[in-house]
Amino acid sequence: MNYIFKNNNKNIFSSLLLLLFINCASHPTIADHTLKKGENFYGYTLSTENIFPVMFYRFGLSDISDIGIRLGVPVYGSGFDYSRTLYENGKKRDVLNLGWSLNPNSNFDFTYYKFLDGKKEGSSFYWALRGMFIPEGSYSPNGPSSRIGVLIGMYRKGKIGIEGGYFHDFLSMPISRLYIPSWDKFLSNEENKEKFGRFDLPHVSPAGWPTQHSRLVGLSLRLTFSLNTNSKKEVKKENKKENKNENE
């Protein structure tokens, strides 16, 4: 019994360590609504990109732009970013986000979001096109990795956010071959190498860890928890008071 307990602990620790190095390229968490000047939005995110929580804080620079700072535990997922609302009409809005993240696969991000607000305040659905560039990565002999993909998410009453996405490196393997369990083993076959040799970028380093070209680095699943869900209501109350005072 003691052996089984120790063995399970070892497996759990190994799984957590593996997740830490597999999905080691992250991206910013943006607000569920357009922040007003001086308004803040903060909380923490749990994701496969960083198995430990990443704290975030966003601050409105103006009524259409804000900045974000992230702090990962211990440091992975830390970074900063800038968001700007390019279009807003009723319940629809488009947001551009530019960011940088510190990870084993430190990356730059370019993300274009399209939001649609729900009937309840703080609830919204969004999807986005995301471009990601990893200049060096965890295995430098492989060179840089450029990825592009789609993410889909939603906020529930401004309290919880759920998001999932995948970002593919088209130089590492054909997207039509994502179902193949191990690309490196697949290419070890001479027939496959002759056909797909142009994609000969190792997905696993000599030490056995996924490189910046691994498809697993492009996978993103995350939960966001907001810790200031009343901020939007407070800003609205302040705006109403200001308008009332101006009318008087």
pLDDT band at 147 (very low <50, low <70, confident <90, very high): very high
DSSP 109: E
At residue 8's C-alpha, the angle toward residues 7 and 13, to 5°, is 100
Looking at residue 240, its pLDDT comes to 52
Query: Between 234 and 17, whose confidence is greater?
Result: 234
pTM for this model (two decimals):
0.82
Q: What is the mean pLDDT of residues 36-55?
A: 90
Query: Between 147 and 49, whose confidence is greater?
Result: 147
At residue 168's C-alpha, the angle toward residues 92 and 192, to 5°, is 155
Looking at residue 48, its pLDDT comes to 83
Looking at residue 238, its pLDDT comes to 56
Looking at residue 163, its pLDDT comes to 97
Looking at residue 49, its pLDDT comes to 79
Instruction: Say how far apart CA 198 and CA 219 lie, in whole Å.
Output: 23
Instruction: Say how far apart CA 165 and CA 156 lie, in whole Å.
Output: 18
Query: Between 118 and 60, whose confidence is greater?
Result: 60
Q: What is the pLDDT of residues 8-28, one digit of tens each?
A: 554 444 444 444 444 466 889
Looking at residue 20, its pLDDT comes to 44
Instruction: Say how far apart CA 155 and CA 33 lie, in whole Å.
Output: 10
Backbone angles phi, psi at 187, to 5 degrees: -75, -15
Q: What is the pLDDT of residues 71-89, one digit of tens each?
A: 998 788 899 999 999 999 9
Looking at residue 16, its pLDDT comes to 42
Kindly list the domain boundaries of the chain, sorted by start residue.
2-247
Q: Are 121 and 158 in contact (CB under 8 A)?
A: yes
Instruction: Say how far apart CA 67 and CA 40 lie, in whole Å.
Output: 10
- In sequence order, what are the residues at sequence separation of 6 or more whose Cβ sits closer than 8 angstroms to the Cβ of residue 204? 182, 184, 210, 211, 214
Alpha carbon distances (Å) from 236 to 8, 12, 63, 175, 209: 51, 46, 13, 46, 49
